[in-house]
Amino acid sequence: MHRIIAAFLAAASCASLAQAQTAPIASPVAQLTLERALELAGAVAPSIEAASASVRAAEAARTVAGYRPNPTIVAETENVVGSGQYRGLRSAETTAGLELPIELGGKRSARVAVADAVSDRARIGAALATADLRLAITQAYIEAVAAERRVVTAREQAEIAREALRAATVRVRAGRASPIEQQRADVLRINAEATEERAERLTIVARDNLARRIGQPVSGPLDLAWFDRVEGYGPALRVAPAGTLALAAAQADVATATAQVRLARAQRVPDVTVSASARRLEETNDVAAVFGVSVPFPVFNRGGAAVTQANAERDQAEALRRAAELDTAQALANAEAEVANAATTARAASGPALAAAQEAARIARIGYREGKFGQLDLLDAERTLSETRTAAIDALAAYRDAQAHRNRLATAAPDLSRN
């Protein structure tokens, strides 16, 4: 009998092993890092699509600016449908030819210069859109990671509260504590579980917001190690305003305004239109050539006001550039200080302060179970630990957010050189 049972168990074990070997192994869901989120968002962001369309439009406008004026086909008939010898078409004179405008004063090259400046500004605008998207995605990612961290903390605090309630219940039943301790512990448990529920709900919202940004569900874990890491010690290297996107945009506006001044000056030079035609005389059936030249007579609009307007707009753009340089330098200095201060706060909150609060809570729990500490001491230690954990998460989120803002301000301008 024992041999039969042993044989049966061996067969069952072999069957289970074979089934386990043939069953497919579920692959773990890949971690969604910040860089991956940025990559996914760049492929679906409407702002990037709009900026790309703006660049294409500017490039098409550059092509149009280089075209020369189109010739005009001219055809006219004179001395028809009159009276006397001009009755009917017998005295008609038909002229057909071409008129060709000739631009003078460098108008075409001035138009091209304006189009080049506008194209450069569009490319800087595309880089600005990319930098703004990177900031928005980073902030959404920070919010999602911080929400996950808050859920973990809330769950741990809820479990601690339930354990405290169990300990209080034991003490009350043993007659070593007043029933009020059990009620206090129950209130602490209820509040901790409500906090856990709120944190879970906010986590779902934060992950959904991030999913909308990247265009796909956020099903995998987030990079919590990146969130907890505080980078660098000591003063950071200062970033000069020159070469940043903010200043590059202002400089591109100055270049556009300067090109507009050149175009306004070129527009003051009148263009010449030359024409060449063939005239046919109906009465004699003879053909004669007709040549003509036309030049505008600038009596009312001589273009001086347009030049004045363009100069004023250039002066405005130059003043705004200087203001942007001052604002960018100030913003960078403030951002660097905010990053340094946030890093200091994050290190303290997530390091020594958190360790001290955890140790105090641990001692208070042991002492409460052994009857050495009162419940108020335990509640105070647990409240301090909960507040310190929350402060650490907030400090890390503030540090990452300050980093994102600093990086946005320090984003380098794109290379606008043309091949």
Q: What is the pLDDT of residue 175?
A: 78
Quick one: 318 exposed, middle or buried, by C-beta within 10 A (0-12, 13-18, 19+)?
middle
By C-alpha distance, which of 96, 164, 169 is closest to 378? 164
Q: What is the pLDDT of residue 2?
A: 37
**Four-CA torsion 246, 251, 252, 254, nearest 10 degrees:** 140
CA dist 23 and 17 (Å) reads 10
SS3 letters across 219-266 = CCCECHHHHHCCCCCCCCCCCCCCCEHHHHHHHHHHHHHHHHHHHHHH
Residue 415 has a CB neighbour count (10 Å cut-off) of 7
- Span between the terminal Cα atoms of the chain, in Å: 90
Q: What is the pLDDT of residue 29?
A: 67
pTM of the model: 0.81
The DSSP element (H or E) to which 57 belongs, if any, is: helix 46-65
Q: What is the pLDDT of residue 30?
A: 82
CA dist 361 and 161 (Å) reads 12
Q: Which tokens is 285 given? A: 């059936």
Domains of the chain: 31-68+103-268+303-409 (1.20.1600.10), 69-102+269-302 (3.30.1300)
CA dist 205 and 278 (Å) reads 78
Q: Which tokens is 227 given? A: 């969130």
**CB contact at 8 A, 274 and 86:** no
Q: What is the pLDDT of residue 7?
A: 41
Q: What is the pLDDT of residue 161?
A: 85
Tens of each residue's pLDDT in the chain, 419 residues: 334 334 433 444 444 434 434 444 444 568 899 999 999 999 889 999 999 999 999 999 999 999 999 999 999 888 877 776 667 777 788 889 999 999 999 999 999 999 999 999 999 999 999 999 999 999 999 999 999 999 998 998 898 888 888 888 887 887 777 788 888 888 888 998 999 999 999 999 999 999 999 999 998 899 999 999 998 655 556 777 888 998 999 999 999 999 999 999 999 999 999 999 998 887 788 888 889 999 988 888 888 999 999 999 999 999 999 999 999 999 999 999 999 999 999 998 888 888 888 888 888 878 877 777 777 777 788 888 888 888 999 999 999 999 999 999 999 898 887 65
Q: What is the pLDDT of residue 276?
A: 92
Quick one: 177 exposed, middle or buried, by C-beta within 10 A (0-12, 13-18, 19+)?
buried
